[in-house]
Amino acid sequence: MHDPGAAEVLSTLVEAGFEAYLVGGCVRDAVLGRPIKDIDIATSALPEQVIQLFQRTVPTGLQHGTVTVLIAQETYEVTTFRKEAAYEGFRRPASVAFISDLTEDLQRRDFTMNAMAMDWAGVLQDPFGGQADLAAGILRCVGTPEERFGEDALRMLRCIRFTSSYGLEIEEGTWQALLAKAPLLRHIAMERVRSELQRMVEGPAPARAVRLMLASGLLAYLKKQLPLPFEAWLAWDDALDVVSALESQHDRWAMLLMLLEVPADVVREALQELTFSRADAAAVAGVLALRDAVAAQIEGEDPAPLERVWKLGAVRRGEAAARAFLRLLRELPQVDGKRGGLARFLTAIAPELLRRGEAWLKEVPCFSLKELAISGQDVAAALEKQPGPWMGVLLQDLLERAALGEIPNEREALIYAAQAAK
């Protein structure tokens, strides 16, 4: 591991007479030969001693023994060896006590692969067999798994994330403890759950994460129940494997949620409960809303031509949503033997969309009001009316007609159409 800033922090602490080690994920990834991300350091020095030793520090968590040291443009979290009292709310320790023993500090951590330490010379401290577990492809809790999950219920989601991301198998005792402690997940804030789920989905093996989530039953114990039939994934098991082929996290979420075969408004509600940002929720739900609009072709008594529905859907939901939807269709597997609305869609409509959808999008001259050749001021002046709610309705109608080629996206033609609509 070659990081000059970390070397400076470690050497400064050691030369001052303290113990200091790299700990946690950076050691795990170094052992695996993976790229190092965040660097954490544990030391026998007390927080105030760390502050005295370095010119630039930030007291980010003094009550928990953490000081952020700034070296050049990099930051390094330096935390005093500690042990933790009883946990509150199945998430955080009620208090911590600073100690001088590295092994005692490491034994409070979640999994053996995260309970290793390394000095700058590369000498590994591994009192709980993390290196051996990694070599064997096993994820194991430190100590008693029931206690680790009972202390912090979020560790159960981390267990599944690490297992899928690192290609590991969950040690039997750890798995059984996870199953037994699953109801404790109700105590974990939804934003924490969302963060772990996002990491699973954007990771290298989202399908494995989904299968483990289903096998564990954890999704039944969220703090807020989501209006989603997760068991529907079982009918599309082969489709789960194509999720990793999608580069965008939005595409991955859209694919997973499309496989559940629920309306876009239900998806949006679920994403809001999971505390997704408004932009992220809109990007995912927009793809599903486009699917709903196009899928109505199957159910309607007098369906409109697919080209018209597709172009209008792209205008109403956005060009990005339309192109994302085409990406999903290209990755979906064959539907032989499958039943349901999605299977009917893939059989009846998807082939035509895959053949002509991209060309149809290229024919659309404008997808948004910003691309329309007139503004609201132009319309208000031409109609000699004060701006009001009517303006948005009229502009949207003009946009859709221009997108369909019914009128040219030209100022004079649009003004004429607006006056005719008056």
Beta strand segments in 278-325, E:
none
Contact in structure between 36 and 61 (CB atoms under 8 Å): no
Long-range contacts for 390-395 (Cβ within 8 Å, ≥24 apart)? 394/418, 394/421, 395/369
How many CB atoms within 10 Å of residue 216? 20
Which pLDDT score, from 0 to 100, does residue 348 have?
A: 86
Which pLDDT score, from 0 to 100, does residue 340 have?
A: 78
Q: Calculate the dihedral angle through the C-alpha atoms of 325, 330, 331, 334, rounding to the nearest 10 degrees.
A: 120
- Whole-angstrom Cα distance, residue 77 to residue 114? 16
pLDDT digits (tens, 9 = 90+) for 195-233: 999 999 999 999 999 999 999 999 999 999 999 999 999
Kind of pairing between the strands at 87-88 and 66-71: unpaired
Residue with tokens 């999704």: 219
Taking the chain, what is the end-to-end CA distance rounded to the nearest angstrom? 71
- Whole-angstrom Cα distance, residue 164 to residue 89? 27
Which pLDDT score, from 0 to 100, does residue 38 have?
A: 84
Burial class (CB within 10 angstroms; exposed 0-12, middle 13-18, buried 19+) of 267: buried
Question: Closest Cα partner for 327 from 348, 308, 354, 307?
Answer: 354
pTM score = 0.91
Which pLDDT score, from 0 to 100, does residue 347 have?
A: 87
How many CB atoms within 10 Å of residue 137? 11
Q: Which helix H or strand E contains 22, and what residues bound it?
A: strand 20-23
CATH architecture, range 137-223: Orthogonal Bundle (1.10)
Name the residue type at position 83: K
**In the chain, what are the domain boundaries?**
1-129, 137-223, 226-364, 369-421
Which pLDDT score, from 0 to 100, does residue 280 have?
A: 97
Burial class (CB within 10 angstroms; exposed 0-12, middle 13-18, buried 19+) of 333: middle
Kind of pairing between the strands at 138-139 and 124-125: unpaired
Which pLDDT score, from 0 to 100, does residue 94 have?
A: 60
Rg (the chain; Cα; Å): 28
Which of 270-305 are b and which e, b meaning 16 or more Cβ less than 10 Å from the residue's Cβ? bbebbbbeeebbbbbbbbbbbbbbbbebeeeeeeee
Residue 273 has phi, psi (to 5 degrees) of -65, -30
Which pLDDT score, from 0 to 100, does residue 238 have?
A: 87
Name the residue type at position 60: T
Q: Calculate the dihedral angle through the C-alpha atoms of 172, 176, 178, 182, rounding to the nearest 10 degrees.
A: 160
Q: Name the CATH code of domain 1-129 (choices 3.30.950.10, 3.40.50.300, 3.30.460.10, 2.40.30.10).
A: 3.30.460.10
Which pLDDT score, from 0 to 100, does residue 102 have?
A: 96
Q: Which parts of the chain register pLDDT below 70?
A: 1, 85-95, 298, 300-301, 334-337, 339, 422
Contact in structure between 155 and 163 (CB atoms under 8 Å): no
pLDDT digits (tens, 9 = 90+) for 106-143: 999 999 999 999 998 899 999 999 999 999 999 999 99
Question: Closest Cα partner for 331 from 315, 301, 354?
Answer: 354
- CATH 1.10.760.10 for domain 369-421, yes or no, is no
CA distances to 2, 55, 94, 285 from 8, rounded to whole Å, are 11, 12, 33, 48
Residue 409 has phi, psi (to 5 degrees) of -80, 65
Q: Which two tokens stand for residue 28?
A: 């795990």
Kind of pairing between the strands at 20-23 and 117-118: antiparallel
Contact in structure between 333 and 242 (CB atoms under 8 Å): yes
